[in-house]
């Protein structure tokens, strides 16, 4: 099994991934499952971005479309209106890498001009025009697996072999990107925990995480506050911090290099400890 890449090219910058890093979640939506409505105004979003930067985030992931289970779609122009002013303000004030969480080709293009460094697409560039827009933007790209759409993805998702199917999907989307002229060094992948998966599927993916990425590509994971924590602990949404941090730790020990999180400070501490353990394991090996 190949070792994940230690770098990810993100526009004109390079993200070092010898150790895992934290991607802070900044949802500028009214209806996201965890923080919907809190950061709709650009000023409030910038304050939260500054807080996450102080807490140790390496990347800020700005999203204007809720992709929680059951969420409806969004008008593309409304998504642009929500996201672009926030990216512009963060780019002008903070040195962190900025990720745009979108499947919208026009937003990909305009976010790149506004100062974004990474495209994080839950639909893995399958929306018509997205692959071409991402290739032209020359940003880093995170390709995520999702079965179905947010509105229906949790309606009895089934797989013959969840690990094999998702590994195949991520490999196929990576090859499609390379064929479109996107350098492999710009690509990372995300198995999409909770996006069309049951608790059993999610646990199996976590157990087999090192097998999911195409050779040499870094793994990104998003486990923060998700229903998997509730399924394992019985905790309601506002009490999922400890479970989220535990899953983040396990993911890094299993090879994840980008950890997407709402609770940045606690996750940074957990990732720091997991990084120490993975480094010692490589040295001892």
Let me know if 240 is a catalytic residue.
no
Of residues 17 and 154, more confidently modeled: 17
Task: State which residues form the domain around 117.
Answer: 7-284
Residue 179 has pLDDT above 50, yes or no: yes
**What was the pLDDT predicted at 38?**
65
Three-state DSSP class for 198?
Answer: coil
pLDDT tier at 35, thresholds 50, 70, 90: low
**What was the pLDDT predicted at 3?**
54
Q: 69 in a domain, yes or no?
A: yes
Is residue 27 a contact partner of residue 261, using CB atoms and an 8 Å limit?
A: no
Catalytically annotated residue among 167, 226, 240, 257:
226
Cα angle, residue 121 at apex, residues 266 and 60 outer, rounded to 5° = 35
Q: 2 in a domain, yes or no?
A: no
Domain count along the chain: 1
Q: 35 in a domain, yes or no?
A: yes
* Tally of CA atoms within 13 A in the half-sphere of 115 that contains its CB: 20
Roughly what angle, to the nearest 10 degrees, separates helices 105-114 and 130-137? 10
**Percentage of the chain exceeding pLDDT 90:** 81
Let me know if 260 is a catalytic residue.
yes
Catalytically annotated residue among 173, 217, 225, 260:
260
- Which tens digits make up the pLDDT trace of 80-109? 999 999 999 999 999 999 999 999 999 999
Q: Taking Cα atoms as reference points, which of 142, 272, 164, 270 lies closest to residue 217?
A: 142
pLDDT tier at 208, thresholds 50, 70, 90: very high
Q: 1 in a domain, yes or no?
A: no
**What was the pLDDT predicted at 1?**
40
**Percentage of the chain exceeding pLDDT 70:** 93
Residue 55, C-beta contacts closer than 8 angstroms, at least 6 positions apart: 24, 264, 265, 268
pTM: 0.93
How many whole angstroms separate alpha carbon 285 and alpha carbon 282? 5
- Which tens digits make up the pLDDT trace of 140-157? 999 999 998 887 888 888
Q: Taking Cα atoms as reference points, which of 146, 152, 142, 187 lies closest to residue 166?
A: 146
Residue 33 has pLDDT above 60, yes or no: no
Residue 50 has pLDDT above 50, yes or no: yes
Q: What is the CATH number of the domain that holds 82?
A: 3.20.20.20
User: Phi, psi at residue 140, to the nearest 5°?
Assistant: -65, 160
Q: Where are the alpha helices (DSSP H) in the chain?
A: 42-54, 76-93, 105-114, 130-137, 162-179, 199-207, 227-233, 241-253, 264-284
How many whole angstroms separate alpha carbon 114 and alpha carbon 3? 34
Mean pLDDT of 116-120: 98
């Amino acid at each position: 099994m190949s070792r994940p890449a230690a770098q990810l090219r993100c526009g004109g910058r390079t993200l070092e991934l010898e150790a895992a890093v934290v991607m802070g979640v900044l949802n500028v939506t009214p209806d996201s499952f965890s923080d919907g409505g809190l950061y709709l105004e650009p000023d409030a979003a910038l304050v939260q971005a500054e807080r996450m930067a102080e807490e140790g985030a390496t990347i800020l992931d700005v999203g204007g479309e809720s992709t929680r289970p059951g969420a409806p779609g969004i008008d593309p122009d409304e998504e642009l209106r929500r996201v672009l002013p926030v990216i512009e303000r963060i780019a002008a004030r903070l040195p962190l890498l900025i990720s745009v969480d979108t499947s919208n080709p026009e937003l990909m293009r305009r976010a790149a001009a506004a100062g974004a460094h990474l495209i994080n697409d839950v639909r893995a560039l399958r929306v018509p025009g997205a692959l071409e827009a991402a290739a032209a933007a020359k940003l880093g790209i995170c390709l995520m697996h999702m079965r179905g759409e947010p509105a229906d993805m949790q309606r009895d998702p089934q797989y013959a072999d969840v690990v094999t199917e998702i590994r195949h999907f991520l490999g196929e989307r990576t090859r499609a990107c390379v064929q479109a002229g996107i350098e492999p060094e710009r690509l990372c992948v995300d198995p999409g925990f909770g996006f069309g998966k049951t608790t059993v599927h999610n646990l199996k993916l976590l157990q087999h995480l090192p097998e999911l990425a195409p050779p040499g590509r870094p793994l990104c994971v998003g486990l923060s506050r998700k229903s998997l924590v509730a399924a394992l602990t019985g905790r309601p949404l506002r009490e999922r911090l400890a479970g989220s941090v535990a899953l983040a730790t396990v993911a890094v020990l299993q090879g994840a290099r980008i950890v997407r999180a709402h609770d940045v400070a606690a996750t940074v501490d957990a990732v720091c400890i997991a990084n120490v353990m993975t480094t010692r394991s490589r040295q001892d090996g």
